[in-house]
Amino acid sequence: MNINLLAKKLPFRKMHGLENDFVVLDARQKEIILSKSEIIAIADRRAGIGFDQLLIIQPSQKSNGVFMSVYNSSGDRVETCGNGARCIAKIVMDDLNIDEIVIETLAGPIKAIRQQDDLITVNLGKVKTGWKEIPLKQELDTLNLDLGIEALPSGVAVNVGNPHIVFFIRNLDNIDLNKIGPKVNSNKIFSEGVNVEFAQLLSEDHIRMRVWERGVGITKACGTGACATLAAAVKKGLSQKFARVTLDGGDLFVELTENDEVKMTGPANNSFTGFID
């Protein structure tokens, strides 16, 4: 790590949601500014701490809650993070001894509520399917998006605070996610890149899903990806509006409400704390 990062001696918390792991920094009392190279250094799983996403808790300018800044391990800032939102909600609700919180993000507010058994529900807001909302570079049918990649079925593009494309297939074991994920993400039709999900329908209320996240790669779980997968399944008439989504790291429970808002329930776990020194 470079000398500027060493000089900061930042306290951090390592957390995860179904093994989608985060380094969390708290900037509610004192501003934290990191360069892209510093973020990449912290993300290094050999020389740094390692994470899928870096989350920074900041004061909110719009509510009594907090603002969550999200950076991928590539060092790029992104709009939001579903599993990360549950982790931030746990920290703030535990600190304030409350059971509800609003988390502001670049994609808009996320409402979080503590449930029984130490689970947390987050409402990511309305699902968007317009081609400009994904966003795509040109007008195309987002519910039947053919990327022209051999042996790949048409996908469903949705935005749940960040862009996703979901492919429904018969057997997840037949997909080389490390190969196909970057190929889909680099397709020029996606203005801002895209998170890539492959989903297998096990029943009308149970979906198995694997994910390749832009700026990260394969992760054990993706909360917004689980939400995008259910939303896509409902839009295609393949699923009920409430379903269990099984990821490599475990299960999330996702609901698409009558007004097209998507809610996700799952755990938020502490791993350890320390200092970047």
Cβ(228)–Cβ(162) under 8 Å?
no
Cβ(220)–Cβ(18) under 8 Å?
yes
Cβ(246)–Cβ(205) under 8 Å?
no
196 pLDDT higher than 80: yes
- Domain limits of the chain? 3-122, 126-266
Give the number of residues written for the chain.
277
| pTM of structure | 0.95
CB neighbour class for 42 (10 Å; exposed up to 12, middle 13-18, buried from 19): buried
pLDDT score at 8: 58
pLDDT score at 7: 52
List residues with catalytic annotation.
81, 222
Name the CATH topology of 126-266. Answer: Diaminopimelate Epimerase; Chain A, domain 1 (3.10.310)
pLDDT tens for residues 127-180? 999 999 999 999 999 999 999 998 899 999 999 999 999 999 999 999 999 999
Q: What is the CATH number of domain 3-122?
A: 3.10.310.10
pLDDT score at 5: 47
pLDDT score at 135: 98
pLDDT tens for residues 25-54? 999 999 999 999 999 999 999 999 999 999
Average pLDDT of the chain is 95
